[in-house]
Amino acid sequence: MLDISEKNVRKNMILSTVYRALSMVISYLYVPVVLAYLGEVKYGVWTTILNVLSWITYFDIGIGHGLRNKLAENLDREGNEIKCRKYVSSAYFAFGLIVLCAMCGFSVAAIFVNWNSIFGVSKDNVSDNLTCVMCISVIFMCINFLLSLCKSIYYALQKNSAVGLMGVLQQSLMLMGVLYLSVTSKASLLKVAIFYGLSDFIVEILFTLILTRKSEVFVPSLKFVSKEETKSTTNLGMLFFISQISALILFTTDNLIISHFIGPAEVTSYSLVNKLYTAGTAVFAMLVTPYWSRTSVAKSHNDYRLIKKGIHEMQCLLGLAIVGVLVLMVIFKPLARVWLQKELDYAPGLIPLMAVYAIIYMWNAVYSQVANGLSLMRVIVPVGIVQGIVNIPLSLFFLLKMNMGVVGVLLGTVLSFMVSAIAVPIAVNKEICIHMRDKS
C-alpha cells in the first residue's frame, strides 16, 4: 500500500509540479478577474478575510499532522490494517468535534464583531454586510476543514500529487465561479464567499469518496474509534498544534496589521507581491512535501542515511529555486504589469525584501519536512513559541516607531523567521549524526 521508492517520489514530484503549475496559472488568471470584479478596496478586504479564515485551519490541534505521521509509520507493515483504520476513525471523530465547536464559536463571535472597524473600512466604501460574509465563510471553511483530512491520508500514502490535482480542480471551479459572477451580478463579497466555499466543498468530498472506495482502512467508523489511537494521534498533534500557532502568527497577521493601521488598499499591493513570489515557494513546497512522510518511514526503519540523502536532494532543488527568485525580483514590475493589466504602486524595498522572505521560507521548508518527519517537537515547539512571541511586536515596531510602512511589517516577519532558519537545521543535523554514530 505504501511506496517510498525513488521512482514513486520522482513520479509524484513530476505530477505535483505539473499540477502546481496548472493551479498557479489558473490562480493568476483568477486574481485579475476577481480584482476587476470587486475593485481594489473590496479585494483587499476579501484577501484579509481569507487570512482571518485560515486561522480556523490551525484549530485541529495538529490531528492532521499526527495522523499523517502515524499512518506513514504503520501502513507499510503487514497486519496493521485494523490499527490504521483506528487511527483514521479516531482522527475523524476528534476532528469532527473540534470543527463543530469551532464553527459554533466563530459564527457566534462573528455576529458581535464590528468587522468594518477590524478591516478599517466604512460602509460607504464597502456596502456588503461583512457579518453575513464572515458567517457564511466560517461555516464553509469549517466543513471543508473536516473534509480536508483526506489530504493527510494522501500525504501518508506518498500520493501528494493527488493533493496537487485537488488544487487544480479547486482553482478551476473558483475561476469559473467569479467569471460567472462578473457577467451576471455587481460586485458582491457574499457571492464570492459562497462560490469560494462551494469550490472547496465539491473537490474535498469527491476525493474523500475516492479514498473510501480505495480501501476500507480509510472509511471512518464509530466502531473503530479508539481512546488509545486518539490519544496517540492527539498527543503528537498537540505539539504540532503549538508550532502551527506560530505559523498562524507569522503568515496571517501581516495583512490584518496592514489593513487596520494603513488601509485595505495597501493590502492589495502587498498581497499581490506576495502572491507572485508564492509561485516559486509553492512549487518548491510541493516538491519537498514527500520527504516528510518518507522521513517518518525511514525513521521507523532506522535508515538515517536515506534521510540525509533526502536533505541533499532538497538542497539541490533549493539552489535552483533561489535562482528563480532572484530572476523574479529583477523582472517583477513588468511581469506584474502584464499580469494585472494595470500599474500598482509598490512601497520602496518591498519587492527585494519579499525575495529574501521567499528564500528563507524555502530554506525552512527543507528542514521542516525532516524535523516534522522525525517528530522533533522538543525543537519545533520552543522555536515556534519564540517566533510567535516576537513577530507582531517587531512588525509593529518597524511600522509605527520606525515609520517603515508595509516594508516594516514584512521586515518584522523576516527577522522572526530567522529563528527557525538557524535553530531547526542545527537540531536536525545533530539528530542524524547521533543515530548514524550509534548505528555504526
Reported as a single tens digit per residue, the pLDDT across 387-424 is 878 888 888 899 888 888 888 888 998 898 899 899 99
d(CA 41, CA 108): 26
Please, what is the end-to-end C-alpha distance for the chain in angstroms?
31
d(CA 244, CA 390): 15
Residue type, 379: V
State the chain's mean pLDDT as an integer: 81
Residue 232, pLDDT > 70, answer no
Confidence at 440, pLDDT banded by 50, 70, 90:
low
Q: What total of structural domains would you count in the chain?
A: 1
d(CA 59, CA 348): 36
Confidence at 206, pLDDT banded by 50, 70, 90:
very high
Question: According to the per-residue pLDDT averaged within each range, which of 203-212, 263-272, 275-284 is highest?
Answer: 203-212
Kindly report the CA angle at 242 between 237 and 244, in degrees rounded to 5?
85
Phi, psi of 354 (to 5 degrees): -65, -30
Asked if residue 52 belongs to a domain, the reply is yes
What is the DSSP code string of 95-151?
HHHHHHHHHHHHHHHHHHS-HHHHTT--TTT--S-HHHHHHHHHHHHHHHHHHTHHH
Confidence at 362, pLDDT banded by 50, 70, 90:
very high
d(CA 247, CA 60): 14
Cell 516538491 appears where? Answer: 287
Average of pLDDT values for 48-59?
69
Residue 359, pLDDT > 90, answer yes
d(CA 236, CA 233): 6
Say how far residue 212 (Cα) sits from the centre of its chain: 25
Residue type, 259: S
Percentage of the residues of the chain whose pLDDT score is greater than 70: 88
Average of pLDDT values for 136-144?
86
Report pTM: 0.63
Asked if residue 1 belongs to a domain, the reply is no
Confidence at 322, pLDDT banded by 50, 70, 90:
very high
Structural domain of 407:
6-439
Say how many CA atoms lie within 13 Å of 182 toward its Cβ. Answer: 16
CB 155 within 8 A of CB 68: yes
